[in-house]
C-alpha cells in the first residue's frame, strides 16, 4: 500500500480537545504522526499546531473527513501533500548575493520549491554570470511614474504563474501600500538590520554611526508598514569599533543570505503561521 507524506497546520481559539481530535483522526485513517508541534498563545488565547504525518489515504479523503473537526473547533487550517511543492517568485535588484544563494540551495535540494520566475527592475545582462537555467526572467523597470503599471504587471505574473509566495531577495524597491495589501501573507522580505532597529535605508551606516556592537538581518512578511511585518527569522554577528561601514555591509551579506534562506525553508515546510503582528515558527 502506497503512503503519502502530509503537512497539516491549524490555528483556532484555544480549548481542550484539539490535539486529541486531530491525532485520533489521523490514527483512525491509518496515519503515522512523524512530528507534532503546538503552541498555546496565552496573550491572544489562540492555539497553533503543525503535524507532519504519513498516510495511505489521499488528500481529498483526508480533507473531506477533517471538515467536521474544523467546524467543531473553528479551525483555520491547511493540509498539503509534501510532494505538492510551493510555487515561488523571486525578486531581486543589482545586489545578487541572496538570489544566488537561494538558487544554489534550490539546486542542491535544500529548498524544495518550484521557482516560477525571477523578477528584476534591472535587465538580464546584470546577471550575466548567473545560470538561471530555464527559469523565466522578467525585466520590469520602474520609475515613480510607471510604478502602478509595473506593479500591475507583477500581479499579473503572480496570478498567471499561480505563485504561492513572493520572495524579495534584496529587491531594492519599496512596494506600494496597494501591492503590499494584495500580497499580504504571501511576500517575504529580508531587511539588512535586526528589526525593529534601523529601519529604512542604509541601516549598516546607521548602526555604525551609533557604535553598535551587534548587527543583524531580519526576514519578515511584507505589510504596508515599512519593515514592520511579522518577523520569521533573525540572526546577528558581532562587530567592533574598528569596523568600517563597508565592513558591516560585508559581514551583513552573510547574515542576509542565511536568514532569508532559513525563513524560506521554514515556509516551504509549512512551519510558519501568522499570529497578528507576530508569527509562530515551528523551527526544525
Which own/partner pairs from 246-253 qualify as long-range (CB within 8 Å, at least 24 positions apart)?
248/204, 248/205, 248/207, 248/208, 248/215, 249/192, 249/204, 251/215, 252/192, 252/204, 252/215, 252/217, 253/97
Q: Is 227 a catalytic residue?
A: yes
Residues 6+ apart with CB under 8 A from 105: 111, 261, 265
> Is cis: bond before 73, omega within 30 of 0?
no
- Active-site position among 96, 101, 227, 243: 227
H/E run at residue 129 = none
Q: How many CB atoms lie within 10 A of CB 71?
A: 9
138 and 118 Cβ atoms separated by less than 8 Å: yes
Find, among 30, 37, 40, 65, the residue nearest to 51 by Cα.
37
Find, among 156, 172, 146, the residue nearest to 117 by Cα.
156
Give the DSSP letter of residue 127. G
Q: Which three cell numbers stand for residue 79?
A: 493540509
Active site residues: 227
Amino acid at each position: 500500500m502506497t503512503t503519502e507524506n502530509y503537512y497539516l497546520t491549524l490555528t483556532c481559539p484555544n480549548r481542550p480537545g484539539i490535539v486529541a481530535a486531530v491525532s485520533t483522526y489521523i490514527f483512525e485513517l491509518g496515519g503515522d504522526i512523524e512530528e507534532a508541534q503546538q503552541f498555546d498563545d496565552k496573550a491572544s488565547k489562540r492555539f497553533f499546531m503543525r503535524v507532519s504525518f504519513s498516510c495511505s489515504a489521499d488528500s481529498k479523503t483526508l480533507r473531506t473527513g477533517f471538515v467536521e473537526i474544523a467546524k467543531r473547533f473553528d479551525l483555520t487550517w491547511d493540509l498539503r501533500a509534501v510532494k505538492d511543492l510551493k510555487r515561488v517568485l523571486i525578486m531581486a535588484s543589482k545586489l545578487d548575493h541572496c538570489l544566488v544563494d537561494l538558487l544554489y540551495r534550490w539546486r542542491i535540494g535544500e529548498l524544495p520549491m518550484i521557482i516560477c520566475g525571477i523578477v528584476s527592475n534591472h535587465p538580464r545582462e546584470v546577471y550575466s554570470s548567473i545560470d538561471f537555467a530555464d527559469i523565466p526572467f522578467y525585466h520590469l523597470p520602474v520609475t515613480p511614474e510607471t510604478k502602478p503599471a509595473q506593479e500591475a504587471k507583477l500581479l499579473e505574473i503572480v496570478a498567471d504563474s499561480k505563485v504561492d509566495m513572493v520572495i524579495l531577495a534584496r529587491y531594492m524597491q519599496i512596494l506600494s501600500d496597494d501591492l503590499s495589501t494584495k500580497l499580504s501573507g504571501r511576500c517575504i522580505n529580508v531587511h539588512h538590520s535586526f528589526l525593529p532597529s534601523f529601519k529604512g535605508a542604509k541601516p549598516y551606516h546607521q548602526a555604525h554611526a551609533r557604535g553598535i556592537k551587534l548587527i543583524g538581518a531580519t526576514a519578515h512578511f511584507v505589510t504596508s508598514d515599512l519593515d514592520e511585518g511579522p518577523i520569521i527569522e533573525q540572526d546577528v554577528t558581532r562587530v567592533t569599533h574598528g569596523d568600517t561601514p563597508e565592513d558591516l555591509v560585508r559581514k551583513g551579506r552573510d547574515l542576509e543570505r542565511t536568514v532569508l534562506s532559513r525563513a524560506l525553508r521554514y515556509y516551504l515546510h509549512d512551519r510558519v503561521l501568522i499570529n497578528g503582528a507576530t508569527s509562530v515558527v515551528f523551527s526544525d
